[in-house]
């Protein structure tokens, strides 16, 4: 595939007369905005398409309960998300790799998760929410971004051959960020939010497999994952009744996903309603806003929003949403492959993995391929924190794309300047 070339306004040599020095903070902000405007447009087109789907689906799935309330909140979340995107514009690129700022982000996230775990509000069987002025904030969503940035920084640290000279303290660069991440992950597990815990572990481990582990470790890891999946399936199949009788939410979901019809009046109810919605939609659906199964789904606007889309727009509409999500993920991987800085490449790949895995986990849950986890559909499901964090990721990616474009333009300018000097 032919590499895309980013075009910017001609790069100005700061040594030339009449050029403003970069030391000016206002000038720096202005330059950052100009650079950011040259971000990837295809990426934003896909994101805007998904956001439009989200607004329509949230409105339709909640119109009988609160016609405009949920829609307004989702719209506010999107606006706040774009405020974060604008904020990312003025952040110096070096902040993303600054170990002090990374550790500070991890510490702040850990404190928020600790508060949510022991003093927060419960929802979906997990105590993972903090109420802020009428809005519920879920710190574990922010931890996803912190995890990707931290793992990227750790991989960069481990791959360097001149570590001893530049980064003498393994405590600040390895031990502290790792410990903070482990504590946050353990707290999320305690809530218990098993879906998010598994998502974070899988994403973090995948990054190390792709960018640090050797072939032997990757093969062993894949074999271990396959064995774990098979063991989990067999355990769920042969001990389903015992898991259901345990009374614990996580075990009930684990015991019912293989055959939810055995528990259609209990834990299997939601999945069965999801089946009905998908079947009722057929190829073209019953019409936007005309779905009836959504009235029987307690999480129609969050976990099961794709089921609502499938009923009202049919297999065709649901396929479009899935294609948009997969297209976004593969496009992020393509962007990552074009990054010249390893940190940028790892981060964007991490965000793509999060998107892929979260999409699979959500769809797998509502179709009973895997146990229900409460993981939302990225960019589509109702949820203030998840929406803002997803847009924050997009803002970071656009920042990296703009920075790469700036470096490319600078190299081109310096090359042309050298050629001009030789003539």
| Res. 423 pLDDT band, cuts 50 70 90 | low
Q: Is the pLDDT of residue 383 over 50?
A: yes
Number of domains present in the structure of the chain? 1
Q: Which domain holds residue 184?
A: 94-207
Q: Let me know if residue 373 belongs to a domain.
A: no
Q: What pTM was computed for the model?
A: 0.87
Q: Let me know if residue 407 belongs to a domain.
A: no
Q: How far is CA 174 from CA 167, 250, 315, in A?
A: 10, 33, 47
Q: Let me know if residue 166 belongs to a domain.
A: yes
| Res. 120 pLDDT band, cuts 50 70 90 | confident
| Res. 326 pLDDT band, cuts 50 70 90 | very high
Bridge partners of 126, per DSSP, are 123
Both structure tokens of 289: 């806003």
- In what helix (H) or strand (E) does residue 124 lie, and over which residues does it extend? none
Q: Let me know if residue 135 belongs to a domain.
A: yes
3-state DSSP assignment of residue 352: helix
Question: Percentage of residues in the chain with pLDDT exceeding 90?
Answer: 54
Q: Let me know if residue 147 belongs to a domain.
A: yes
Mean pLDDT value across residues 167-187: 86
Cis status of the peptide bond prior to 192, with omega within 30 of 0? yes
Q: Let me know if residue 193 belongs to a domain.
A: yes
Q: Let me know if residue 182 belongs to a domain.
A: yes
Q: How far apart are CA 164 and CA 243, in angstroms?
A: 51
Q: How far apart are CA 61 and CA 85, in angstroms?
A: 28
Q: How far is CA 359 from CA 274, 306, 353, 396, in A?
A: 16, 10, 10, 20
Mean pLDDT value across residues 308-317: 95
Q: What is the DSSP string of 358-407?
A: HHHHHHHHHTTSS----PPPTTTS--HHHHHHHHHHHHHHHHHHHHHHHH
Amino acid 105: pLDDT: 96
Amino acid 29: pLDDT: 52
Most confident by average pLDDT, 21-30, 119-128, 258-267, 377-386: 377-386
Listing from the earlier edge strand, what are the strands of the sheet with 126-132?
A: 121-123, 126-132, 135-137
Q: Is the pLDDT of residue 263 over 90?
A: no
Q: How far apart are CA 370 and CA 71, in angstroms?
A: 30
| Res. 132 pLDDT band, cuts 50 70 90 | confident
Amino acid 166: pLDDT: 53
Q: Is the distance from CB of 228 to CB of 217 less than 8 angstroms?
A: no
Q: What is the DSSP string of 321-342?
A: HHHHHHHHHHHHHHHHHT-SSH
Amino acid 168: pLDDT: 53
Q: Let me know if residue 417 belongs to a domain.
A: no
Q: Is the pLDDT of residue 381 over 80?
A: yes
Q: How far apart are CA 270 and CA 306, in angstroms?
A: 13
Q: How far apart are CA 108 and CA 231, in angstroms?
A: 37
């Amino acid at each position: 595939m032919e590499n895309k070339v980013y075009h910017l306004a001609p790069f100005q040599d700061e040594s030339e007369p009449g050029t403003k020095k970069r030391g000016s903070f206002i000038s720096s902000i202005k330059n950052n905005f100009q650079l950011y405007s040259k971000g990837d447009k295809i990426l934003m087109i896909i994101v805007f398409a998904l956001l439009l789907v989200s607004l329509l689906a949230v409105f339709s799935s909640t119109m009988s309960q609160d016609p405009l309330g949920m829609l307004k909140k989702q719209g506010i979340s999107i606006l706040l998300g774009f405020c974060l995107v604008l904020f990312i514009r003025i952040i110096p690129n070096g902040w993303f790799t600054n170990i002090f700022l990374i550790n500070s982000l991890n510490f702040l996230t850990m404190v928020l998760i600790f508060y949510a775990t022991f003093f927060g509000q419960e929802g979906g069987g997990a105590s993972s929410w903090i109420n802020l002025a009428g809005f519920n904030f879920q710190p574990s969503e922010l931890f996803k971004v912190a995890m990707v940035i931290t793992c990227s920084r750790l991989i960069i640290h481990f791959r360097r051959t001149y570590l001893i000279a530049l980064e003498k303290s393994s405590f600040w660069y390895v031990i502290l960020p790792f410990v903070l991440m482990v504590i946050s992950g353990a707290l999320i597990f305690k809530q218990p939010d098993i879906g998010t815990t598994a998502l974070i572990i899988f994403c973090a481990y995948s990054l190390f497999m792709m960018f640090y582990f050797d072939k032997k470790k990757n093969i062993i890891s894949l074999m271990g994952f396959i064995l774990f999946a098979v063991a989990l399936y067999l355990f769920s199949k042969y001990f389903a009744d015992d898991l259901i009788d345990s009374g614990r939410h996580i075990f009930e979901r684990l015991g019912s996903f293989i055959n939810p019809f055995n528990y259609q009046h209990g834990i299997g109810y939601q999945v069965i309603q999801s089946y009905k919605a998908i079947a009722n939609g057929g190829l073209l659906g019953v019409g936007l806003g005309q779905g009836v199964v959504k009235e029987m789904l307690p999480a129609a606007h969050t976990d099961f929003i794709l089921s609502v889309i499938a009923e009202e727009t049919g297999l065709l509409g649901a396929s479009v949403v899935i294609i948009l999500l997969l297209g976004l993920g593969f496009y992020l991987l393509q962007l990552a492959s074009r990054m010249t800085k390893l940190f940028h490449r790892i981060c964007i790949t991490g965000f793509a993995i999060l998107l892929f895995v979260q999409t699979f986990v959500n769809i797998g849950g509502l179709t009973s391929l895997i146990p229900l986890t409460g993981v939302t559909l990225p960019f589509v499901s109702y949820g203030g924190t998840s929406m803002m964090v997803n847009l924050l990721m997009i803002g970071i990616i656009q920042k990296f794309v703009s920075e790469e474009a700036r470096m490319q333009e600078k190299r081109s300018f310096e090359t042309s300047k050298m050629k001009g000097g030789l003539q």
